[in-house]
């Protein structure tokens, strides 16, 4: 069993990266999320039999939501337990899928030596740097992404058991899915940002390794910022995305209802189901 950072709500899986339970997080008004019902993570292709047993026995898992695009799924298919509903929702905007695929900077297989070299090389590409800066604002503005994240929220509401959602590393697309779910449950902005930032604890060794390689090649702050955002998460860019939602929609509550199509009544049902 892998050693996990303390205080992160991480789940001790053997083959699933960056997994944590939302249970115990406190919402506005004092209610907390019920434990062992909502879990975010990286992809499930390396899940062990023991991992699947945890998902079945502890989380009573009924639904998996996969936010990856086609090439990612083909290269690393999820292991799905018996009786679990699997839903594909490719939430990354098409312009980003095309841009990252061209440079193979989609963060899949982050630990492979070939991809490590590619990511370090890509850090020096101005186009890639700009894509990394625009990833979150483009995601929250894209109507297809909005529709699919709305489907995700409705799927979690309908789930008969525990729900797990993920992308490749469980940090960006899964992070936004978590942000919308937490907001629908009544979380403060600070709680949403703090949970999002925890992915940087999970991936700190990878970020450190890649940053050192960038420095050895003469990279500076722009290159390091790219590595931190692609191997970890950029909290600064995440907050830019939240600010954009506030500016364009008047706040997250309105965004969830108007852009994601998740009504006020649905939010009430969600809170009844998952809060205590």
Chain segment 184-208, per-residue pLDDT in tens:
999 999 999 999 999 999 999 999 9
Alpha-carbon span 206 to 200, nearest angstrom: 10
Which residues partner with 162 through β-bridges? 61
What pLDDT, on a 0 to 100 scale, did the predictor assign at position 109? 39
Q: Which structure tokens are listed for 272?
A: 């009844």
For residue 101, name the pLDDT band (cuts at 50, 70, 90): low
What average pLDDT does the chain have? 91
Chain segment 163-187, per-residue pLDDT in tens:
999 999 999 999 999 999 999 999 9
Q: Which structure tokens are listed for 163?
A: 């729900």
Mark out the alpha helices in the chain (DSSP H runs): 49-57, 70-75, 94-103, 113-122, 126-141, 143-158, 173-185, 189-197, 199-202, 204-216, 221-231, 235-249, 252-258, 264-274
Alpha-carbon span 98 to 10, nearest angstrom: 32
What pLDDT, on a 0 to 100 scale, did the predictor assign at position 97? 84
- Count how many residues are written for the chain: 276
Q: What is the CATH number of domain 20-274?
A: 3.90.190.10
Order the strands of the 38-41 sheet from edge to edge: 20-21, 38-41, 162-166, 61-66, 85-88
Q: Calculate mean pLDDT across residues 88-94.
A: 95
Residue with the bigger pLDDT between 72 and 33: it is 33
Surface-to-core class of residue 265, CB atoms within 10 Å of its CB (0-12 exposed, 13-18 middle, 19+ buried) = exposed
Chain segment 223-252, per-residue pLDDT in tens:
999 999 999 999 999 999 999 999 999 999
- The pLDDT > 70 percentage for the chain reads 91
3-class secondary-structure state, position 148: helix
Local structure of residue 79 (DSSP, 8 states):
P
Is the model's pLDDT at 5 over the cut of 70? Answer: no
For residue 9, name the pLDDT band (cuts at 50, 70, 90): confident
């Amino acid at each position: 069993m892998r050693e996990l950072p303390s205080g992160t709500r991480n789940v001790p899986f053997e083959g699933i990266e960056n997994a944590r339970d939302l249970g115990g997080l406190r919402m506005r008004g004092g209610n907390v999320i019920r434990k062992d019902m909502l879990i975010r993570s990286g992809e499930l292709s390396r899940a062990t039999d023991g991992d699947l047993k945890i998902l079945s026995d502890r989380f009573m898992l009924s639904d998996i939501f996969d936010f990856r695009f086609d090439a990612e799924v083909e290269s690393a298919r999820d292991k799905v337990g018996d009786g679990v509903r699997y839903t594909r929702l490719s939430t990354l905007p098409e312009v980003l899928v095309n841009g990252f695929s061209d440079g193979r900077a989609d963060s899949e297989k982050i630990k492979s030596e070939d991809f490590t070299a590619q990511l370090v090389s890509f850090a020096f590409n101005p186009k890639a740097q700009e894509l990394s800066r625009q990833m979150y604002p483009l995601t929250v503005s894209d109507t297809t992404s909005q529709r699919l994240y709305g489907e995700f929220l409705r799927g979690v509401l309908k789930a008969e058991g525990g729900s797990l959602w993920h992308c490749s590393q469980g940090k960006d697309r899964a992070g936004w899915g978590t942000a919308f779910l937490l907001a629908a449950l009544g979380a403060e902005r600070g709680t949403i940002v703090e949970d999002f930032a925890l992915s940087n604890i999970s991936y700190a060794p990878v970020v450190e390794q890649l940053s050192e390689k960038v420095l050895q090649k003469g990279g500076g702050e722009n290159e390091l910022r790219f590595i931190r955002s692609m191997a970890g998460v950029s909290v600064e860019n995440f907050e830019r995305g939240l600010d954009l939602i506030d500016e364009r929609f008047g706040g997250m509550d309105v965004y969830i209802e108007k852009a994601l199509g998740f009504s006020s009544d649905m939010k009430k049902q969600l809170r009844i189901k998952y809060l205590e």
